Structure 1
Amino acid sequence: MSPKFFLAVFITSVGSGFQHGYHTGVVNIPAEVIREWISLLKTLHEDSTELDVIWSTTVAIFSLGGIIGSLMIGFFGDTCGRKRSLFWNNFIILAAIPVMAFSKKTESFVMFLSGRFFSGINASLNAGLCQMYLTEISPDKIRGAVGSLYHFVYVCSIVMSQIAGFLLGSDENWPYIFVIPAFPALLQLFLLPFCPESPKFLLITQGKDSEATKSLQKLRGREDITHELRLLEEEDSLVKQMRGSSLKMIFQNPAMANALLCCIVLNMAQQMCGINMIVYYSTHIFDEMKVGALESLFLIVGMSTFSVIITLGSVLTVDSLGRRTLIEISLLGLIVTTILMIFSFQFFEYGLCSMKYFYICSVYLFNGFHSVGLGTIPRFITAEMFPHTSRTIAICVTLAVSWSANFLIGEGALILRREIRSYICIIYIFLDLVFFLILRQRLPETSKLSAKEIISMYEYNREQ
Structure 2
Amino acid sequence: MACITRPTMLQRLTLLLDCPLVIVAIFISGIGGTFQYGFGISVVASPSTYIKELVNQTCIRRYNVYIQEWQLSLIWSFTVSIFSIGGLLGSLLAAPFLAIVGRRNCLLFNNFVAITGAVLMLLSQTATSFEMIMVGRFLSGINSGISLSAHSLYLTECTPKMLQAMVGVTIGTFIGIGKFSGQLLGLSELLGAEDRWPWLLGFSGFTAIFQLVTLPFLPESPKYLLLNRVDEPACEKAMMRLWGNKDHSRELEEMLVEKAAHQNIQSHSVMELIRERSVRWQLMTIIVTFISLQLSGINAVYFYSYDVFRAAGIHEYQLRYSALGMGMCEMFSYLVCFMIIDRIGKKLLLFAGYVVVAITLVLLTITIYLQHQIFWVSYCSMVLIFTFLFCFCLGPGGVIVPLPGQIFTQAFKASAITVSWTLNWTGMFVVGMIFPILVEHLDSFCFVVFLLVCLVSALFVYFNVPEMSNKTALEIAADFDRMHSKSGRSKGEKTDEQSCDVFKRYETKF
Aligned twin of 2:451:
429
Larger Rg: 2
Note the C-alpha offset of 1:24.
1.3
The unaligned stretches of length 5 or more in structure 1 are: none
Match of 2:251 in 1: 228
Aligned to 2:463: 441
User: What stretches of structure 2 of length at least 5 have no aligned partner?
Assistant: 1-17, 60-64, 486-490, 495-510
Mapped partners of 1:394, 1:251: distance in 2: 9
Deviation, 1:355, is 2.6
- Determine the structure 1 residue equivalent to 2:395: 373
CA contact (8 A) 2:111 2:212 kept: yes
Q: Hey, what's the Cα distance between the residues in 2 that align with 1:410 and 1:106?
A: 29
Question: Could you tell me whether the CA contact under 8 Å between 1:277 and 1:409 is conserved in 2?
Answer: no
TM-superposed CA distance for 1:36, in Å, is: 5.0
The residue that corresponds to 1:17 in the other structure is: 34
Q: What is the DSSP-based 3-state SS (H/G/I as helix, E as strand, rest coil) of the residue aligned with 1:104? A: helix
User: 1:382-412, CA deviations, whole angstroms, 9 ceiling, x for partnerless residues?
Assistant: 1100000111011111110111001112233
The Cα shift of 1:288 comes to 8.0
- Taking structure 1 as the reference length, the TM-score comes to 0.91
Q: 2 CA distance for matches of 1:216 and 1:8?
A: 13
Output one character per residue of 1:180-211: Cα deviation in whole Å (capped at 9) or x when no partner.
Answer: 22222122111111111111111111111221
- Call closer, same or farther: CA 1:273–1:289 in 2, change over 3 Å: farther
* Aligned ranges 1:240-389 → 2 under 5 Å: 240=263, 245-279=268-302, 291-349=314-372, 351-389=373-411
Sequence identity (%): 27
Over 3 Å counting, the alpha-carbon distance change for 1:259 and 1:40 in structure 2 is: same
Deviation at 1:354, TM superposition (A): 3.4
C-alpha deviations, 1:323-353, integer Å up to 9, x for none? 111111211121122122211221124x434
Is residue 465–residue 480 contact of structure 2 (8 Å, CA) maintained in 1? no
Instruction: Please report how far the alpha carbon of residue 438 of structure 1 lies from its aligned counterpart in structure 2 after TM superposition.
Output: 2.0
CA RMSD of aligned residues (A): 2.7
Find the counterpart in structure 2 of residue 207 from structure 1: 230
Q: Structure 2: which amino acid aligns with 1:71?
A: L
Q: Distance in 2 between matches of 1:224 and 1:17?
A: 32
**Residue of structure 2 equivalent to 1:26:** 43
Indicate which of 109, 132, 144 corresponds to 1:123: 144
Letter in 2 for 1:225: H
Structure of greater relative contact order (alpha carbons < 8 Å, 6+ residues apart): 1
Shift of the 345–458 alpha-carbon distance from structure 1 to 2, 3 Å rule, reads closer
Q: How far apart are residue 284 of structure 1 and its match?
A: 7.2
Larger CA deviation: 246-255 vs 210-219: 246-255
* Alpha-carbon distance between aligned partners in 1 of 2:24 and 2:240, rounded to the nearest angstrom: 14
Structure 1, residues 82-125: CA drift from partner, whole Å, max 9, x if none?
Answer: 00110111111100002112223333222212111111111111
* Candidates 408, 411, 418, aligned match of 2:433: 411
Show CA shifts across 1:2-32 (max 9, x none).
Answer: 4333322221122212211111111233444
Deviates most, 410-419 or 95-104: 410-419
SS of the equivalent of 1:295 reads helix
CA distance in 2, matches of 1:154, 1:321: 23
Distance in structure 2 (CA, Å) of the matches to 1:362 and 1:397: 33
Counterpart of 1:400 in structure 2: which amino acid? Answer: T
Distance of aligned partners of 1:365 and 1:56 in 2 relative to their CA distance in 1, 3 Å threshold:
farther
**1: CA distance, partners of 2:290 / 2:66:** 36
Aligned residues: 461
**Structure 1 counterpart of 2:148, which letter?**
A
Q: Could you say which residue in structure 2 is the equivalent of 1:94?
A: 115
In structure 2, the CA distance between the partners of 1:313 and 1:391, relative to structure 1 (3 Å rule), is same
What per-residue deviation string (whole Å, max 9, x for no partner) do you get for residues 409-430 of structure 1?
A: 2233234323432122121122
**Structure 1 residue identity aligned to 2:279:** M
8 Å CA contact 1:13–1:153 kept in 2: the answer is: yes
Between 191-200 and 292-301, the greater mean CA deviation after superposition: 292-301
Aligned to 1:170, which of 193, 200, 205? 193
Superposed displacement of residue 222, structure 1: 1.2
**Which residue of 158, 162, 167 maps to 2:179?**
158
Matched, 1:136 2:157: yes
TM-superposed deviation, 1:456: 3.4
Cα separation, partners in 2 of 1:155 and 1:387, compared to 1, 3 Å: same
**CA 1:56–1:378 in structure 2 vs 1: closer, same or farther (change >3 Å)?**
farther
Amino acid at match of 2:415: I
TM-score after normalising by structure 2: 0.83
CA distance in 2, matches of 1:58, 1:340: 35
How far apart are the structure 2 equivalents of 1:441 and 1:244? 30
Instruction: After superposing the two structures, state which structure 1 stretch, 257-266 or 32-41, moved more.
Output: 32-41
* Greater Cα offset, 184-193 or 25-34: 25-34
**Alpha-carbon distance change, 412 to 107 in structure 1, aligned in 2, over 3 angstroms:** farther
Mark the CA change 1:157 to 1:8 in structure 2 (over 3 Å): closer, same or farther. Answer: same
Range that drifts further, 242-251 or 417-426: 242-251
| Kept after mapping to 1: 8 A contact 2:305/2:385 | no
Task: Give the CA deviation at 1:229.
Answer: 1.6
Change (3 A) 1:416 1:251: closer
* Distance of 2:155 and 2:143 partners within structure 1: 18
Shift of 1:280: 6.9
| Farther off after superposition, 137-146 or 85-94 | 137-146
